[in-house]
Chain A
Amino acid sequence: MSAPVAHAHHAPEGFIRKYIFSVDHKVIGIQYYFLGLFSVFVGLFLSLLMRYHMVNPSAKVAWFEKLWHTGAAGGIMTPELYLSLMTMHGTIMVFFVLTTVPQSGFGNYFLPIQIGAEDMAFPVLNMMSFWTTLLSLVVMMAAFFVQGGAPLSGWTAYPPLSGAGVITGPGEGLGQTLWVLSIAIFCGASLMGAINFIATTVDLRCKGMRLMRMPLTCWTWLVTAILGLLGFAVLLSAGVLLILDREVGTSFFLPTGMMISDHILTNHKGGSPLLWQHLFWFFGHPEVYIAILPGMGVTSHLLSTFSRKPIFGYKAMVYAILSIGFLGFLVWGHHMFMSGMNPYSAMAFSVMTMCIGVPSAIKTFNWIGTLWGSKIHFDTAMMFALGFVSLFVTGGISGIFLGQPALDLYFHDTYFVVGHFHMIMGVAAIFGMFAGTFYWFPKMFGKMMNETLGKIHFYATFIGVYCIFTPMHYLGIVGNPRRYSDFSNVDYLGPMIPIHQFMTYAAYFTAAVQLIFVVNLFWSMWKGPKAPMNPWNSTSLEWSIPTPPPFDNFGGVHPVVYHGPYEFSVPGAEKDYIMQNAPPTESAHS
């Protein structure tokens, strides 16, 4: 092999260039990870406030007043404050946790390495995408501090509630505007990230790394990037139109004949609230696949590694990922069955929604197929991957009900929906992140995390989340509406309060248990035992480089790949795993 081409990549010097304004995808990945970690604790805190209020709607809490002297005057949380906490909870979790950590966190760090590249295709653009995301978070958080506070229209921001300005409710003034602005900035950051992920995967794979030899994590990062690219572009357009409706009096989404708080609105002529819903959910549905696909990739990757067996049906898994991505753009109407849209299109969306259940089922069968006849090692990372499978089944199954408009006639806007999406996004996706953390921590930080703390955290969280979110399905069957700050106005909800209390206690418990994870994470970074180069005897390329990796990943030498990503327990091979870049003399399947 001749001398490497000058790719002009010198190691950065100085603290600022190394750790702050770094163009190194590994540093950027860690920056995104910590942005997500901060955001998840903000979101978690908000959810605890919400759960407390739902079962103690008229309770007086002194420090509420200190934080929100209008929203919680006298220490009692007002309904509008509750709704604004709810809006920000959903927004922060979906955008700043679920869309950042699995993709921009782990993906940024490990995509280039797993495909044998030195860095992302556009390192400077990568750096800009992080700082733009951070700016978006700052603008979002600012909404809490302006007059009127944060918006109260939910993370879905349906107009006219979100579009007609402050007359629809507190927080709908500057708070809502900042929200839309933050989302628009986030769209820009996502687009930058998508460009990098796609170009890197398409063009920077090393020799021998054919597409069908990529680890499944890389496939999920690629498809997620495509979903983000096309979805966020539409959300950006929708956001621009909403801002215009709010600020300059256009009527994209605002109809005629509105009278709000005794004011007759004369500016607007014939806009459509449903238009917003179409644009939003055209983004919104791919968004939920953005949230879950990388977790599926991590799960596949870990199940194979820790059971010492190739992934069952690699090709089928790839096709499933591609189908989920493609079909993900055709099902957005299932969020709108009750919206007043054409009922025939509802049926069409329903059929497509059932179709998308098929590749998801394939993935589940294949995970179990991978485990069958295997040899399972129960490291914490694997526990979370196994937990992911269980949670994905539970969360996905309730989708079969909701995907039928006939059944949605009852379940729309009830806790059945809340239970469904929390199980899938708020839990399964989070478990994917935990799994990724335990698996990749040794490579990222050069130390091992504590297994005992990890297992305790896993079991407590696994049981805890089942206790929080499964009862929501029963609440849905009873007809408990969602987005209610207080249930005392509806007689049939009286008997359900004990269930809400149970869920609230489960939430406190599960939240407290997360401290174990935080302690484990930070303590291990400092004082954990030193990690070997390949502690899991895994096959993908990140485990063939030193720990932590050098700035250009492969030390200037370009790897050559001869094997597929899941060559475990190959008959006749010396060890029970074959690294992807091991010499071709090993007997192997490619």
Chain B
Amino acid sequence: MAGSLTHDILQGPPPPVDPGWGDDGGGSDGRGSSRRASFTGLYVLLAASTMVFAALTSALVVRRGLSDDWASIAKPQILWLNTAVLLASSAALELARRALKSGARGRFNIWWTAGTGLGILFLAGQWVAWQQLRSAGVFIASNPSSSFFYVLTASHAFHLLGGLSALIYVDVQALRLSLGPAKRTRVDISAVFWHFLDGIWLYLMLLFYVWG
């Protein structure tokens, strides 16, 4: 039996179709439109998040150009390790999704849990980075460069906490074996949001090392 993300091959064929939902016959079944709506909602959220980071970036650019008190801070080396951890967590999530697609529930659980764990590790690593800065005497108000570093990493971490809650929720559902086909959308949404946060992090690393 061919599997697809919207149908759980273990549960049999999809329920009857209702053409009432969806744009002029789009969306092959009721659940399709709800999945599509979830993705629309996600993209809208990503647009808002992008605006937050865009606003902070423009504030950084303006502030940097304003006066000569911008002293680029030395970034903690652990940031590179953290970056690797974050990218690894995304990779793990992708492997998990692939496993789910081919029906390998067990493998899904392993990879998704690994991804979640690596996400937690990233946050822990960020905390260490902050501690390292503080022991070097670099605090949020030390100079504009440090201010933006703390604000941007904190904003990112705040988003990550949200993403992590979604990952943990999915993980718990998976481990309790209650990850049915309707929950597939949640898996995908969580994963895409997480990858977006990866992208933001890579952008921030660029910002810190080139402009910060």
> In their complex, do chains A and B touch, with some C-beta pair under 8 Å?
yes
User: Do A198 and B40 have beta carbons less than 8 Å apart?
Assistant: yes
Q: How far is the CB of B64 from chain A (nearest CB, A)?
A: 10
CB neighbours (8 Å) of A560 from chain B are 20
B18 near A4 with CB under 8 A, answer yes
Chain B CB within 10 Å, residue with most, of A206, A210, A559: A206
Assuming the contacts A1-B18, A6-B15, A121-B37, asked whether A205 and B44 have C-beta atoms less than 8 A apart, the reply is no
Find residues 550-567 in chain A having any chain B CB closer than 8 Å to their own CB.
557-560
Contact with B along A1-13 (1 / 0, CB 8 A): 1111111000000
Decide if A270 is an interface residue (CB 8 Å cutoff).
yes
Tell me if A252 and B52 are in contact (CB < 8 A).
no
B30:A207 contact, CB within 8 angstroms: no
CB-CB contacts of B57-89 with A at 8 A, as 1s and 0s?
011001100111100000000000000000000
Whether A270 pairs with B144 at a CB distance below 8 angstroms is: yes
Residue on A with the closest CB to B60? A252
Q: At the interface, yes or no: A278 with Cβ under 8 Å from chain B?
A: yes
Whole-angstrom CA separation of A5 from B16 in the bound complex: 7
Q: Which residue of B lies closest to A231 (CB)?
A: B51
Assuming A271-B63, A275-B59, is B48 touching A230 (CB within 8 A)?
yes
With contacts A199-B37, A200-B37 taken as known, whether A233 is within 8 angstroms of B52 at the C-beta atoms is yes
Q: Is B48's CB under 8 angstroms from A233's CB?
A: yes
Inter-subunit contact B151/A194 (CB<8 Å): no
- Contact status A229-B37, CB under 8 Å: no
Contact between chains at B19 and A1 (CB < 8 Å): yes
Q: Verify if B41 is at the interface (C-beta below 8 Å from A).
A: yes
Q: How far is the CB of B16 from chain A (nearest CB, A)?
A: 5
The answer on a CB contact under 8 Å between B30 and A230 is no
Chain A positions within 8 Å of B51 at CB level = 229-230, 233-234
Instruction: Name B57's closest neighbour in chain A (CB-CB).
Output: A237
- Interface residue from A4, A202, A204, A208 paired with B24 (Cβ < 8 Å): A208
Nearest Cβ on chain B to A496's Cβ, whole angstroms = 40
Contact A248 B20 (CB under 8 A): no
Residues of chain B contacted by A269 (CB below 8 angstroms): 67, 69, 143-144
Contact B59 A279 (CB under 8 A): yes
Report the Cα distance A198→B36, complex, angstroms: 12
Interface string of B138-179 (1 = CB under 8 A from A): 001101100100010001000000000000000000000000
Given contacts A207-B22, A244-B151, A558-B21, contact A272 B66 (CB under 8 A): yes
A250–B143 Cα distance when bound, in Å, is 8
Q: Is B17 an interface residue (CB 8 A)?
A: yes
Asked if B47 lies at the interface with its beta carbon under 8 angstroms from chain A, I say: yes
Taken together as a complex, chains A and B put the C-alpha atoms of A229 and B33 apart, in Å, by: 22
In angstroms, how far is the closest chain A Cβ from the Cβ of B67? 3
Inter-chain contact B63/A275, CB cutoff 8 Å: yes
- A488, CB-defined interface residue at 8 Å: no
Distance between Cα atoms of A233 and B24 in the complex (Å): 33
Query: Would you call A249 an interface residue if the criterion is a C-beta within 8 Å of the partner chain's C-beta atoms?
Result: yes
Q: Shortest distance in angstroms between B142's beta carbon and chain A's nearest beta carbon? A: 9
- Cα separation A368 to B79 with both chains bound (whole Å): 62
Q: In angstroms, how far is the closest chain B Cβ from the Cβ of A276? A: 9
Question: Does A267 make an interface contact (CB < 8 A)?
Answer: yes
Indicate if the CB atoms of B66 and A236 lie closer than 8 Å: no
Asked whether A202 lies within 8 Å of B40 as measured between CB atoms, the reply is: yes
> Does A240 have its Cβ within 8 Å of any Cβ on chain B?
yes
Answer whether residue A55 sits at the interface, using C-beta atoms and an 8 A cutoff.
no
**B36 touches which of A6, A203, A238 (Cβ 8 Å):** A203
B12 to chain A minimum Cβ distance, whole angstroms, is: 15
In the assembled complex, which residues on chain A have CB atoms less than 8 Å from the CB atom of B33? 203-204
B45 within 8 Å of A by Cβ? yes
Within the complex, the shortest CB–CB distance from B158 to chain A, in Å, comes to 10
> Complex: how many Å from CA A200 to CA B34?
10
- Contact residues, B1-50 vs A (CB, 8 A): 15-25, 27, 29-31, 33-34, 36-38, 40-41, 44-45, 47-49
Question: B47, A229: Cβ atoms under 8 Å?
Answer: yes
Verify A237–B52 contact, CB threshold 8 A: yes
CB < 8 Å neighbour of A4 from B20, B56, B140: B20
B55 contacts partner chain A, Cβ-Cβ < 8 Å: yes
Q: Are A250 and B45 in contact (CB under 8 A)?
A: no
When the two chains form the complex, which single residue of A125, A198, A208, A275 contacts B62, counting CB atoms closer than 8 Å?
A275
Which single member of B15, B25, B58 contacts A207 (CB below 8 Å)?
B25
Bound CA–CA A121/B20 (angstroms): 15
* Beta-carbon contact of A282 and B151 below 8 Å: no
- A68 interface contact, C-beta 8 A: no
Asked whether A199 lies within 8 Å of B40 as measured between CB atoms, the reply is yes
User: In the assembled complex, which residues on chain B have CB atoms less than 8 Å from the CB atom of A376?
Assistant: none
Distance, CA A271 to CA B65, complexed state (A): 10
* B31/A5 in contact, CB under 8 A: yes
Residues on the B chain within 8 Å of A279, using CB? 55, 58-59
Question: Do A270 and B69 form a contact, CB below 8 Å, given A4-B20, A121-B41, A210-B23?
Answer: yes
CB B29 to nearest CB in A, in angstroms, measures 6
Partner of B29, one of A5, A203, A207, A229: A5
B16 partner, pick from A2, A191, A236, A282, beta carbons under 8 A: A2
Contact between A207 and B48 (Cβ–Cβ < 8 Å)? no
B21 touching A122, Cβ below 8 Å: no
Does A241 belong to the interface (CB within 8 Å)?
Answer: yes
Does A478 lie at the interface of the complex (its beta carbon under 8 Å from any beta carbon of B)? no
CA distance A203 to B15 in the complex (A): 20
**Do A210 and B56 touch (CB < 8 A)?**
no
Could you say which residues of chain A place their CB within 8 Å of the CB of B67? Answer: 256, 269-270
Chain A residues with CB under 8 Å of B52's CB are 233-234, 236-237
Contacts of A207 in B (CB 8 A): 19-22, 24-25
Decide: A238 near B66, CB < 8 A? Known: A206-B21, A233-B48, A558-B21: no
Q: Which of A61-119 contact B (CB under 8 A)?
A: none
Interface check A195, CB cutoff 8 A: yes
Interface residue A251 (Cβ < 8 Å from any Cβ of B): yes
Which of B18, B44, B147, B151 is within 8 Å of A558, CB to CB?
B18
| Alpha-carbon distance between A229 and B49 when the two chains are bound, in angstroms | 9
| Closest 7 pairs between A and B when the two form their complex, measured CB to CB | A558-B20, A5-B30, A270-B67, A233-B51, A249-B141, A237-B55, A203-B37
Given contacts A121-B41, A252-B144, 12 further A-B contacts (CB under 8 A): A5-B18, A202-B40, A203-B33, A203-B36, A206-B20, A207-B21, A210-B23, A229-B48, A240-B155, A251-B147, A252-B147, A270-B68
Contact sample, A vs B, 19 pairs, CB 8 Å cutoff = A1-B18, A1-B20, A4-B30, A121-B34, A121-B41, A194-B44, A195-B48, A203-B36, A210-B24, A229-B51, A232-B48, A237-B52, A248-B140, A250-B147, A252-B147, A267-B141, A270-B144, A271-B144, A278-B58
